[in-house]
């Protein structure tokens, strides 16, 4: 499905991503971990074409992603929606309008200018918000919502694009443990129910172990681990994070594990 071959990104003398290669055969839930500066964000940005790779190839269902231009490139960016740590909503705009921004790629400049949306898009936006448990927030300004709610609005905006891949760059890094769990549960559920691939940069080991089918560990721009959560032992983690003997899992851990609701529960009160 997704083939990444020797992808490299240089910023001057810095090699942010260094010959990264991996293949994804089916739409999994993939976590990328590694310490700050390992190249995780740069890698996701290259997949989405927010940043151009220096060398290498990325193919999705045979399509040469790095060669796409113009309308084809925009279509691809719509196909792999991004979610960011800081939500990137328009704070003073209402929730539904923020979600409708996910359709921007296919609207005319004039419709965008006058803020005109087809009724079916508005209904769809509300359905998606409902699915994420935040339909009752639809008319509020984005800035009036909690962090966890705002991130779910960002997920709703991404779903509006009907993406094949969801790229999430530290989606829960700004959230408290409870909201972090709600957001991760939402992503997991979208993955399971819709069959969308999720690639998420995660800053905590416990989250990666708990939600991902596959974990990729990056260090200094390179992949140093690619395996299942079970294979991600403390020793392996120590190698990925490049820590010395004083390495402690607690340092890369939220208190998420202490919440006793099951991670992959089929029913949560919010969804
Ligand atoms: N626009 C840029 N210009 C110059 N250097 C950059 C740029 N973006 C990233 N880098 C460098 O590339 C390397 C990888 O950065 P990147 O942001 O991808 O790391 P990361 O794994 O996402 O880190 P974090 O966990 O802190 O988000 C770092 O050395 C960083 O300083
Ligand atoms: Mg980053």
Ligand lying nearest the CA atom of residue 34? 1
Containing structural domain, residue 228: 27-37+83-258
Which pLDDT band, with edges at 50, 70 and 90, does 107 fall under? Answer: low
Cα 209 to ligand 2 centre (Å): 19
Helix 119-131 × helix 147-160 angle, to 10°: 130
137 phi-psi bin (left φ>0, alpha ψ -120 to 50, beta other) = alpha
Of 76-85, 110-119, 233-242, 253-262, minimum mean pLDDT range:
253-262
Which pLDDT band, with edges at 50, 70 and 90, does 119 fall under? Answer: confident
Considering its fold, how many domains does the chain have in total? 1
The answer, yes or no, to whether any atom of ligand 1 lies below 6 A from the CB of 40, is yes
The answer, yes or no, to whether any atom of ligand 1 lies below 6 A from the CB of 54, is no
Which pLDDT band, with edges at 50, 70 and 90, does 242 fall under? Answer: confident
The CA distance from 252 to 235, in Å, is 14
Residue whose CA is at the smallest distance from ligand 1 atom 17? 41
pLDDT of residue 101: 86
Residue 60 lies in a domain: no
Cα 195 to ligand 2 centre (Å): 25
Which CATH number do you get for residue 237? 3.40.50.300
H or E element that contains 134: none
Residue 223 lies in a domain: yes
Which pLDDT band, with edges at 50, 70 and 90, does 115 fall under? Answer: low
Q: Reply yes or no on whether the pLDDT at 258 is more than 60.
A: no
pLDDT average, residue stretch 88-108: 86
pTM of the model: 0.88
- What are the residues facing 2 on neighbouring strands? 24, 60
Beta strands 197-201 and 214-219, pairing class: unpaired
pLDDT average, residue stretch 14-24: 97
List pLDDT tens digits, range 173-188.
Answer: 999 999 999 999 999 9
Residue 235 lies in a domain: yes
Residue 57 lies in a domain: no
Residue 71 lies in a domain: no
Residue whose CA is at the smallest distance from ligand 1 atom 5? 11
The answer, yes or no, to whether any atom of ligand 1 lies below 6 A from the CB of 217, is no
The answer, yes or no, to whether any atom of ligand 1 lies below 6 A from the CB of 37, is yes
The CA distance from 150 to 183, in Å, is 10
Cα 214 to ligand 2 centre (Å): 19
Strand runs labelled E in the chain? 2-11, 14-24, 29-33, 55-60, 63-64, 80-84, 165-169, 197-201, 214-219, 222-227
Residue 140 lies in a domain: yes
Cα 221 to ligand 1 centre (Å): 9
Q: Choose the residue to mutate in 8, 37, 224 for probing ligand 1, maximizing ligand atoms within 8 Å of C-beta.
A: 37
- Ligand 1 closest atom vs CA 203: 25
- As a whole number, the mean pLDDT across the chain is 88
Residue 267 lies in a domain: no
Residue whose CA is at the smallest distance from ligand 1 atom 13? 16
Strand runs labelled E in 1-131? 2-11, 14-24, 29-33, 55-60, 63-64, 80-84
Residue 20 lies in a domain: no
């Amino acid at each position: 499905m997704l083939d990444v071959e020797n992808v490299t990104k240089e910023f001057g003398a810095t090699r942010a991503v260094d010959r990264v290669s991996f293949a994804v055969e089916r739409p999994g839930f993939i976590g990328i971990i590694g310490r700050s500066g390992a190249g995780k964000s740069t890698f996701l940005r290259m997949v989405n074409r927010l940043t151009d790779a220096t060398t290498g190839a990325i193919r999705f269902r045979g399509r040469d992603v790095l060669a796409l231009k113009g309308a084809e490139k925009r279509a691809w960016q719509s196909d792999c929606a991004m979610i960011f740590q800081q939500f990137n909503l328009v704070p003073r705009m209402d929730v539904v309008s923020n979600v409708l921004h996910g359709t921007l790629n296919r609207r005319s400049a004039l419709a965008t200018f006058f803020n005109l949306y087809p009724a079916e898009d508005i209904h769809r936006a509300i359905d998606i918000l409902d699915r994420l448990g935040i339909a009752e927030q639809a008319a509020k300004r984005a800035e009036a919502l909690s962090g966890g709610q705002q991130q779910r609005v960002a997920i709703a905006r991404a779903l509006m694009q009907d993406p094949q891949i969801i790229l999430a760059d530290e989606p829960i890094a700004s959230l408290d443990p409870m909201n972090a769990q709600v957001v991760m549960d939402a992503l997991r559920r979208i993955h399971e129910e819709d069959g969308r691939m999720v690639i998420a940069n995660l800053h905590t080991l416990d989250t990666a172990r708990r939600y991902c089918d596959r974990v990729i560990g990056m260090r200094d721009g390179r992949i140093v681990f690619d395996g299942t959560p079970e294979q991600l032992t403390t020793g392996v983690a120590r190698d990925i994070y490049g820590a010395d003997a004083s390495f402690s899992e607690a340092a890369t851990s939220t208190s998420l594990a202490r919440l006793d609701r099951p991670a992959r529960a089929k029913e949560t009160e919010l969804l």
